[in-house]
Structure 1
């Protein structure tokens, strides 16, 4: 999704965090990943979740996860 960006950060305690920036929202951080691969997996799941069609939206408002 173009209005969301993700950045993986290696922390001082050797864990990883994901910084999430969304247009029109405050920046957020998802922390506590043991590996960079786990952080990347979380990003992939979050991106898929954002593309899921909202079953309650009107057909003209739905986003399709193709």
Structure 2
């Protein structure tokens, strides 16, 4: 799959978690690190990294 960047507001729609919870997870350091690009006033996130994070969360439930 080809990777693309999304803004933090799009993460909510992508993984179906509310803004408050996503913000909490990001601040805790347990979410993928944002990508900061010169000229952009907001952080971007890699869809492939988000998918990997989602897989890791699913694997944790089997422990």
TM-score tier, shorter chain, comes to 0.3 to 0.5
- TM-score normalized by structure 1? 0.36
Q: Which has the higher strand share?
A: 1
Q: Which has the higher helix share?
A: 2
Q: Which has the higher contact order (CA 8 A, sep 6+)?
A: 2
Structure number, greater radius of gyration: 1
- TM-score normalized by structure 2? 0.37
